[in-house]
């Protein structure tokens, strides 16, 4: 990250609060950094925000993406700062594995992320027990920190995870890697209900949501819906169809999906 200006970052909790006030679940949209190009990635993320995404999640590359499925792993290969996307006013969270942050320097990463306007981090491979440096650095910079809860997590484990979160809690709807699926994991609702007694933070469900019907299903029991691979697939399909000329088509396809999902979330509780 090489921030140029000191951008004031907005928090994910604020975005979730606005969605709740509108009687709907929040939409969290994921895109990998720099795909298919840095410029195109920025345009796609901005289009996603304009079409209704409440929070943007930007994935940073890592050589051993232990959680990423084939769609995201194929696309994550270039770097993108949060600054250009944060200018939309939508909170931007960086999703990254811990090794790049550790190598960058935890306090330096937190400083530069905050200066770039980033809202915080989602760290899928960092356990709360090993997160002391990040907890300290994020406190200093007022950054959100999002840890993942899995269906296999015990109640004691959920208590530990939620105590360390700020912004929202990420509930993985199923065990396994990321990717679109025909149906949302049946364990998702049970996991959300098990998380509730341990925190007042919003709970967002991710892994497997790919269309408006599934988003509406999740909105019935969760505070937010996280969609990643379905957005990435739109970009990949456009690139496969038209090469570099597919950039504009990919941006349009991302915006179309964001509008579909956002509309479904607005209708789900009407």
3-state SS, residue 8: coil
- Which contiguous run of DSSP H or E holds residue 1? none
Contact by Cβ (8 Å): 34, 41: yes
Cα–Cα distance between 198 and 226 in angstroms, integer? 21
Q: Measured on CA atoms in the order 206, 211, 217, 222, is the torsion positive or negative?
A: positive
DSSP per-residue string spanning 191-249: HHHHHGGG-SS-EEEESS--SHHHHHHHHTT-SEEEE-HHHHHHHHHHHHHHGGGGHHH
* 68 annotated active-site: yes
Catalytic residue among 22, 43, 54, 57: 57
C-beta of residue 1 within 8 angstroms of C-beta of residue 113: yes
Tokens 């208590």, located at residue: 159
Whether 57 sits among the annotated catalytic residues: the reply is yes
How many residues make up the chain in this entry?
270
Other C-beta atoms lying within 10 Å of the C-beta of residue 215: 26
Collapsing DSSP to helix, strand or coil, 77 comes out as: coil
Alpha carbon distance 214, 234 (integer Å): 17
Take residue 49 and report the two structure tokens written for it: 């925000």
Q: Which one from 43, 68, 112, 223 is the annotated catalytic residue? A: 68
Residues assigned a catalytic role: 57, 68
């Amino acid at each position: 990250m090489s921030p140029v200006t000191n951008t004031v970052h907005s928090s994910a909790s604020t975005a979730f609060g606005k969605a709740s006030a509108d009687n709907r679940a929040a939409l969290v949209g994921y895109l990998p950094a720099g795909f298919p190009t840095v410029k195109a990635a920025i345009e796609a993320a901005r289009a996603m925000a304009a079409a209704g995404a409440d929070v943007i999640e930007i994935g940073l590359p890592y050589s051993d993406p232990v959680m990423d499925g084939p769609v995201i792993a194929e696309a994550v290969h270039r770097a993108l700062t949060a600054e250009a996307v944060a200018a939309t006013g939508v909170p931007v969270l960086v999703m990254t594995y811990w090794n790049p942050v550790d190598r960058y320097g935890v306090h330096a990463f937190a400083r530069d992320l905050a200066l770039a306007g980033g809202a915080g981090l989602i760290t899928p491979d960092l356990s709360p027990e090993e997160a002391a440096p990040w907890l300290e650095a994020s406190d200093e910079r007022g950054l959100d920190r999002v840890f993942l809860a899995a269906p296999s997590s015990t109640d004691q484990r959920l208590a530990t995870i939620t105590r360390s979160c700020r912004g929202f809690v990420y509930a993985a709807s199923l065990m396994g890697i990321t990717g679109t699926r025909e149906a949302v994991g049946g364990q998702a609702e049970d996991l959300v209900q098990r998380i509730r007694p341990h925190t007042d933070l919003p709970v967002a469900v991710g892994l497997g949501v790919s269309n408006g019907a599934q988003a509406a299903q999740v909105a019935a029991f969760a505070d937010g819906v996280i969609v990643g691979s379905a957005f990435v697939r739109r970009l990949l399909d456009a690139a496969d169809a038209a090469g570099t000329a597919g950039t504009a088509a990919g941006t349009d396809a991302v915006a179309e999906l964001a509008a579909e999902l956002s509309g479904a979330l607005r209708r789900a509780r009407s």
